[in-house]
Amino acid sequence: MSAPLRRVQVAAVVLGAVVLAAIIGPWLWHVDPNAVGPLATAAGLPPSAAHPLGTDENARDVLARLLAGARISLAFGLLAASVAAVVGAAVGILAALSRPWVDRAYMSVVDLGLAIPRLLVLIIVTAGFGRLPWGWLAVTMGVTGWFGLARLVRARTRELASGDFSVAAFALGAPTWRVAARHLLPNVTGTITAAAVLAFANAITLEAALSFIGQGVAIPTASWGSLINEGRAQLGVTPWLTVLPAIAIAITVVAAGALADGVERGAPWRSTGGAA
């Protein structure tokens, strides 16, 4: 077995474990993540049998909040990545198959989108609309995050569209939509998947960044980002409040990155098409 394949497998197992924890964790550790305990006796407790990862300054159970945060953060990333993948792939493929001036118009929009700092846009949006429900925040993140993906998909589609089997399909009389749907899309799914996995990791870190400056998902909903934000005031006293969600984010992002890398490099479609 090749080393890249092993890396992808490890990454997939790690990511799978995180997702599994998010899905079944809150059932197994049946504690309300938002239940406030007696502040005088239960706030800022270190790990113990009753609270395996301790409690925060509001006497809430950290393990329960971490698991609940995983659900929100992962769902957030998934939703944002899905929006980015669908919009980006559609624009990328359309641009690649359009007349040169239409292609240039699409790509100007992409260049503009890439030129504007995304965090700034998100801060302005959240400041303007107040605290958005997390779902809408995720959609907003997807809508502002498809530009790079569109460019990748366009490049790959152009390469494939000038390749032999696309020309052959046109030469057999296949209409453009058929070439796009039957011949190009199945061959760019690798690129789309890889870019979407990265967009997923990106969305999770961006949400954390937004939460850190108090513009992320609305309190008291727990996300990994909001947990870091809540814990940072007590960093010296109760460091686990900040460190644990940070580690969760790091593990998820690194695993997603490795997975995307493997999908992009190890896949058989890298060696097909293109040759004119």
Partner 1 sequence: MTDTTALLEVRDLAVYFRGAAGVARAVDGVSFFVDKGETVALVGESGSGKSVTALSLLRLIDPPGRIEPGSVIRFEGTDLLALDEERMRQLRGRRIAMVFQEPMTALNPVFTVGDQVAEVARIHEGASRADAWKRAVQMLARTGIADAERRARDYPHQLSGGMRQRVLLAMALLLSPALVIADEPTTALDDTIQAQILDLLRTLQQETGSAVLLITHDFGVVAEMAQRVLVMYGGQVVEAAPVRTLFAAPAHPYTAGLLRAMPRIGSRRTRLDAIPGTVPPATAWPSGCRFRDRCAHEWEKCASEAPVPIEVAPGHVARCHLVSDPARRAAANLAGAPT
- In sequence order, which residues have a C-beta less than 8 Å from that of residue 173 and are 6 or more positions away? none
In whole angstroms, the minimum distance from the beta carbon of 228 to partner 1 comes to 43
Q: Looking at 155, 164, 246, 266, which residue binds partner 1 (CB under 8 A)?
A: 164
Q: Does 121 bind partner 1 (CB under 8 A)?
A: no
Residues 90-119 as x/- pattern, contact with partner 1 by CB under 8 A: ---------xx-------------------
| Separation CA 75–CA 30 (nearest Å) | 20
In whole angstroms, the minimum distance from the beta carbon of 176 to partner 1 comes to 9
Q: Does 268 bind partner 1 (CB under 8 A)?
A: yes
Q: Does 177 bind partner 1 (CB under 8 A)?
A: no
Q: Looking at 98, 162, 221, 234, which residue binds partner 1 (CB under 8 A)?
A: 162
Other residues' Cβ atoms within 10 Å of the Cβ of residue 114: 13
Residue 150 and residue 95 in contact, taking contact as beta carbons nearer than 8 Å: yes
Structure tokens at 266: 């190890």
Per DSSP, the three-state class of 44 is: coil
First and final CA of the chain: distance in angstroms? 32
- Closer CB to partner 1, residue 28 or residue 172? 172
In whole angstroms, the minimum distance from the beta carbon of 8 to partner 1 comes to 20
| Separation CA 85–CA 73 (nearest Å) | 18
Positions touching partner 1 (CB under 8 A) are: 99-100, 162-165, 167-175, 178, 182-183, 186-187, 268-269, 272-275
